[in-house]
Structure 1
Amino acid sequence: MEWNQIPLGPLQTNCYVLSNENKACLIFDPGEESAKLSSFLKQKGLKPLAIVLTHAHFDHIGAVDDIREEFGIPVYIHEKEAEWLPDPALNGSHLFKVGKLIKAKPADHIITGEKELSIGEFTFTIFETPGHSPGSISLYFKDAELVVAGDALFNGSIGRTDLPGGNHQQLLDSIHAKLLTLPEETEVLPGHGPATTVGQEMDSNPFLNGF
C-alpha cells in the first residue's frame, strides 16, 4: 500500500490518498482545492472508492461534495458529527470565516462504534478518538503499519481542544488508550504537519510526557 499526503486549503490540512497495486484508493479528509486533488488522482491513474472523514471540521471537508460527485463515491463519517457536514455553525466555517461557508451534503454511510471496516480491497480498524471533537476517529491499517489520526495526534503536539465539543483530558485519554498502544513503528498520519511514528511521540511529545 502507498500513501500520499496532499496539504489543501488555507490551513494546509493534510488530505491522504491510500492506494494499492491495483490503483484503487481511499481518500481521507479532502479539505479544500478539489481541482488540485482531482488532478493528482487523475495523473496517478487512481480509482477512488470512498471518502472517509476523521472528523467534520470545515478545513477537513471543503472538497467533499466536489470529489464525491466527480468520482461517484460515498462518504463515511462518525455518527456524532453526521449533522455537522451541512451546518456551518457546527463545522466551524461560520466562526473562522476562512473562505466560504461549508454546507456539504449528508454522508452516505454513518460509522457507529469501533469496528473493522472493509471498503473494496481495503480493510482497517476504526478507533474512536474524541477530544479534539466529539466524533473524531482514527483509522488503523495494521498490514500497512499506519494510522490516519486526523487532528488527535501531531508530530510533537496534539489537537486543539478549545473548540465546541473539545475536551483536553478526553483527548489525552484517547491518545494513550488508542494510539500509543499501537506498535511503536506505526506511522502516524496527522491532519496537519509532517508524519511521525507512535514511538517518536511516546519518546518526545511534550504534551504526553508525565501523563
Structure 2
Amino acid sequence: MTEIHSFTVGLLSVNCYLLYHPESRECLIVDPGDHGDSIQAEVRNLSLQPRGILLTHGHVDHISAVPAIAKAYGIPVWIHEADRGLYSSPANAILPWIPAAKDLPEPCDTAPQIAGSSYEIIHTPGHTPGCVCFYFPAEQFLLSGDTLFRGTVGRTDFPGGNAAHLMASIKNKLLALPDRTTVYPGHEAPTTIARERPNFIN
C-alpha cells in the first residue's frame, strides 16, 4: 500500500507530496515547487529513499526545486511530453516573484516507480497541454495537480490553457473514478470525487 505525506512549498503554497511504501521506504516526490532544503528535511524525517520525481505539469511554481532534488538524490524526473517545452522555457516564470528554473535535468521517458506501489497516469489537458493526474487505484486516491480543486477547477487563462479541454478532462476522465476517491490537489485542501461531482451536473 502507498502512503502519502503532504506539505506546502513556495510563494504560491504548492502542495508537494511524498508517496512511499511503508516497508521499503522508497518514495516518489511529486511537484517539488520550491524550498529544496525543506523537502529534503521531510524526506529525512520520514527515513525515505527517493526513487524519482513526478510532475503534474510544467508551471514554474511546481518545478523550481527539481534541479536541487534531482541532484541531491541522483533521481530521474518525469513530465508529460506535451509540457516539456513549458518545463524548459526561460519564459516559464512569474515575475518579479518567481524566476524561471535553471539547470533543469532532462526528463526521462518512463515514469519512475517504487516497489509495492502501482499508479495510473491520467492525461488531463486544460490547465496546460500536458497536465496529468496520478491515480492510485488500490488506495483510491488521486493527485490532481492544478486540474481539479476543492470547489473549483484550474485556471485556463495562462498560455496553453484551454477551458473546454479542462472541462472535458474532468467530466470524461476524473468523474469516471469512484465517488470515494480522495483528491489531493496542487494547492489548498483535499476533497473527494463525490464532493465535486455535483459541480459538473448540468
TM-score by length of 2: 0.93
- Cα distance in 1 between the residues matched to 2:189 and 2:61: 17
Q: RCO (CA 8 Å, sep 6+): is it higher in 1 or 2?
A: 2
Q: Structure 1 residue 201 and structure 2 residue 201: aligned?
A: no
Q: Against the structure 1 CA distance between its residues 141 and 104, is the aligned structure 2 distance closer, same or farther, given a 3 Å change threshold?
A: farther
Which blocks of at least 5 consecutive residues in structure 2 are unaligned?
A: none
- Cα distance in 2 between the residues matched to 1:37 and 1:142: 26
SS at match of 1:109: coil
Residues 39-89 of structure 1: CA deviation (Å, up to 9, x unaligned): 010111011110000100000001001001001110001001112223231
RMSD: 1.5
Residues 14-40 of structure 1: CA deviation (Å, up to 9, x unaligned): 111111112111111000000111001
Q: CA deviation at 1:118?
A: 6.3
Q: Structure 1 residue 160 and structure 2 residue 155: aligned?
A: yes
- Cα distance in 1 between the residues matched to 2:121 and 2:10: 26
| Counterpart selection for 1:35 from 34, 37, 42 | 37
- Cα distance in 1 between the residues matched to 2:34 and 2:150: 22
Higher strand share goes to which structure?
1
1:6 paired residue number: 7
1:102 paired residue number: 101
The percent of aligned pairs where both chains have the same amino acid is 39
Amino acid at match of 2:53: I
Which blocks of at least 5 consecutive residues in structure 1 are unaligned?
A: 112-116
Is 1:55–1:77's contact at 8 Å kept on the other side of the alignment?
A: yes
Number of aligned positions between the proteins:
199
Q: Structure 1 residue 191 and structure 2 residue 186: aligned?
A: yes
2:66 paired residue number: 64
TM-score by length of 1: 0.89
